[in-house]
Amino acid sequence: MDLKDLYRDVIVDHNRHPRNFRPMPNADRHAEGFNPLCGDRLTLFVKLDGERIADVSFQGSGCAISVASASLLTESVKGCTVAEAGQLFTRMHELLTRDDASADTATLGKLAALSGVRGFPARVKCASLCWHTLDAALHREAVPVSTE
Amino acid sequence: MSVAPASAAPAPARRQSLDVETLRRDFPVLARQVNGKPLCYLDNAASSQRPRAVIDTISRYYENSHANVHRGVHRLSQEATDLFEGARETLRRFVNARSTREVVFVRGTTEAINLVAQSHARPRLQPGDEILISWLEHHANIVPWQMVCEQTGAVLRVIPITRSGEVDFEAFLGLLTGRTRLLALAHVSNALGTVVPVGRFIREARRRGIPVLLDGAQAVPHLPVDVQALDCDFYCFSGHKMCGPTGIGVLYGRESLLAAMPPWQGGGDMILAVSFERTVYNELPWKFEAGTPHIAGAIGLGAAVDYLEALGMDRIAAAEHDLLDYATARLAQIPGLAVVGTAPEKAAVVSFTVEGVHPHDLGTILDHEGVAIRTGHHCAMPVMEFYGVPATARASFAFYNTRAEVDRLVAALHVALEVLA
Q: Which of A4, A6, A15 faces B364 most closely, judged by CB atoms?
A: A6
Q: What percent of chain B shows pLDDT beyond 90?
A: 91
Q: Which of A39, A63, A122 faces B377 most closely, judged by CB atoms?
A: A39
pLDDT per position as a tens digit, A20-32: 999 999 999 999 9
Q: In whole angstroms, what is the distance from residue B12 CA to residue B218 CA?
A: 29
Report CB contact under 8 Å: B377, A41. Answer: no
Q: Between A and B, how many residue pairs show a Cβ–Cβ distance under 8 A?
A: 57
Interface test with A, best of B43, B353, B354, B358 (most A CBs within 10 A): B358
Distance from CA of A82 to the nearest CA of B (A): 31
- Spell out which chain B residues touch chain A, with contact meaning CB-CB distance below 8 angstroms: 356-361, 363-365, 368, 375-377, 384, 390-391, 415, 419-420
User: Are A92 and A114 contacting, i.e. CB atoms less than 8 angstroms apart?
Assistant: yes
- Can you give the pLDDT at residue A37? 73
User: Are A17 and A41 contacting, i.e. CB atoms less than 8 angstroms apart?
Assistant: no
pLDDT per position as a tens digit, B333-361: 999 999 999 999 999 999 999 998 999 99
pLDDT per position as a tens digit, B283-327: 999 999 999 999 999 999 999 999 999 999 999 999 999 999 999
Closest chain A residue to the Cα of B384, Cα to Cα = A39
Write down all domains in chain A, each with its CATH number in brackets: 3-146 (3.90.1010.10)
CATH of domain B54-310: 3.40.640.10
Chain A residue numbers touching B351 (CB-CB < 8 A): none
For residue B33, the one-letter residue type is: Q
Q: In whole angstroms, what is the distance from residue B333 CA to residue B344 CA?
A: 19
Q: In whole angstroms, what is the distance from residue B129 CA to residue A13 CA?
A: 54
Confidence of residue B228 (pLDDT cuts 50, 70, 90): very high
User: Are A37 and A124 contacting, i.e. CB atoms less than 8 angstroms apart?
Assistant: no
Q: Which of A116-130, B232-246, B316-330 has the lowest mean pLDDT?
A: A116-130
Chain B residue numbers touching A63 (CB-CB < 8 A): 358-361
Residue A19: is its pLDDT beyond 50?
yes
pLDDT per position as a tens digit, B255-284: 999 999 999 999 988 999 999 999 999 999
- Can you give the pLDDT at residue B15? 60
Report CB contact under 8 Å: B376, A120. Answer: no
- Can you give the pLDDT at residue A39? 76
Q: In whole angstroms, what is the distance from residue A103 CA to residue B50 CA?
A: 44
- Can you give the pLDDT at residue B72? 81
**Mean pLDDT value across residues A84-111:** 84
Q: Which of B356, B364, B376 faces A39 most closely, judged by CB atoms?
A: B376
Q: Of A14, A13, A7, A6, which is closest to residue A70 (Cα–Cα)? A: A14
Report CB contact under 8 Å: A7, B375. Answer: no
User: Are A28 and A114 contacting, i.e. CB atoms less than 8 angstroms apart?
Assistant: no
Please calculate the CA angle B318-B322-B323 and round it to the nearest 5 degrees: 120
Q: In whole angstroms, what is the distance from residue B377 CA to residue B369 CA?
A: 22
Distance from CA of A83 to the nearest CA of B (A): 33
Report CB contact under 8 Å: B390, A7. Answer: no
**Mean pLDDT value across residues B13-20:** 77
Please report which helix (H) or strand (E) contains residue A145, including its range: strand A145-146
Q: Which of A90-99, B92-101, B198-207, B319-328 has the lowest mean pLDDT?
A: A90-99
Q: In whole angstroms, what is the distance from residue A73 CA to residue B31 CA?
A: 43
A10 touches chain B (CB under 8 A): no
Q: Which of B358, B363, B419 faces A3 most closely, judged by CB atoms?
A: B419
Please calculate the CA angle B124-B130-B135 and round it to the nearest 5 degrees: 130
A65 touches chain B (CB under 8 A): yes
**What are the sequence ranges of the domains in chain B?**
13-42+312-420, 54-310
Chain A residue numbers touching B390 (CB-CB < 8 A): 38-41, 61-62
- Can you give the pLDDT at residue A142? 53
Three-class DSSP labels, chain B: CCCCCHHHCCCCHHHCCCCHHHHHHHCHHHHCEECCEECEECECCCCCCCCHHHHHHHHHHHHHHCCCCCCCCCHHHHHHHHHHHHHHHHHHHHHCCCCHHHEEEECCHHHHHHHHHHHHHHHHCCCCCEEEEECCCCHHHCHHHHHHHHHHCCEEEEECECCCCCECHHHHHHHCCCCEEEEEEECECCCCCEECCHHHHHHHHHHCCCCEEEECCCCCCCCCCCHHHHCCCEEEEECHHHCCCCCCEEEEECHHHHHHCCCCCCCCCCEEEECCCCEEECCCCHHHCCCCCCHHHHHHHHHHHHHHHHHCHHHHHHHHHHHHHHHHHHHCCCCCEEEECCCCCECCEEEEEECCECHHHHHHHHHHCCEECEEECCCCHHHHHHHCCCCEEEEECCCCCCHHHHHHHHHHHHHHHHHHC
Is the backbone of residue B209 left (phi > 0), alpha (psi -120 to 50) or beta? Answer: left
Q: In whole angstroms, what is the distance from residue A127 CA to residue A72 CA?
A: 10
Q: In whole angstroms, what is the distance from residue B281 CA to residue B273 CA?
A: 7
Interface test with A, best of B35, B37, B357, B360 (most A CBs within 10 A): B360
- The full DSSP string for A12-74 is HHHHHS-TTBS--TT-SEEEEEEETTTTEEEEEEEEEETTEEEEEEEEEE--HHHHHHHHHHH
Q: Which of A12, A39, A65 faces B390 most closely, judged by CB atoms?
A: A39
Q: What are the distances in angstroms from CA A54 to CA A69, A82, B117?
A: 19, 10, 54
pLDDT per position as a tens digit, B36-64: 999 999 999 999 999 999 999 999 999 99
**Mean pLDDT value across residues B65-88:** 94
A61 touches chain B (CB under 8 A): yes
Rounded to 5 degrees, what are φ and ψ at B175? -90, -10
Q: Which of A4, A37, A65 faces B376 most closely, judged by CB atoms?
A: A37
Closest chain A residue to the Cα of B415, Cα to Cα = A3
Q: Pairing between strand B371-372 and B279-281? A: unpaired
Report CB contact under 8 Å: B368, A3. Answer: yes
Distance from CA of A4 to the nearest CA of B (A): 8
CA B10: distance to chain centroid?
A: 35
Confidence of residue A104 (pLDDT cuts 50, 70, 90): low
Q: Which of A1, A16, A63 faces B360 most closely, judged by CB atoms?
A: A63
User: Are B315 and B17 contacting, i.e. CB atoms less than 8 angstroms apart?
Assistant: yes
Which residues, other chains included, contact A117 with Cβ-Cβ below 8 Å and sequence gap of 6+?
A: A6, A65, A96, A123, A124, A126, A127
Chain B residue numbers touching A15 (CB-CB < 8 A): 420
Q: Cis check for the bond before B51: say yes or no (omega within 30 of 0).
A: no
Report CB contact under 8 Å: A38, B360. Answer: yes
Report CB contact under 8 Å: A41, B390. Answer: yes
Q: In whole angstroms, what is the distance from residue B44 CA to residue B399 CA?
A: 10
Active site residue B40: no
Closest chain B residue to the Cα of A7, Cα to Cα = B419
Chain A residue numbers touching B361 (CB-CB < 8 A): 7, 63-65
Residue A69: is its pLDDT beyond 90?
yes
A6 touches chain B (CB under 8 A): yes
CATH of domain B13-42+312-420: 3.90.1150.10
What's the ipTM? 0.88
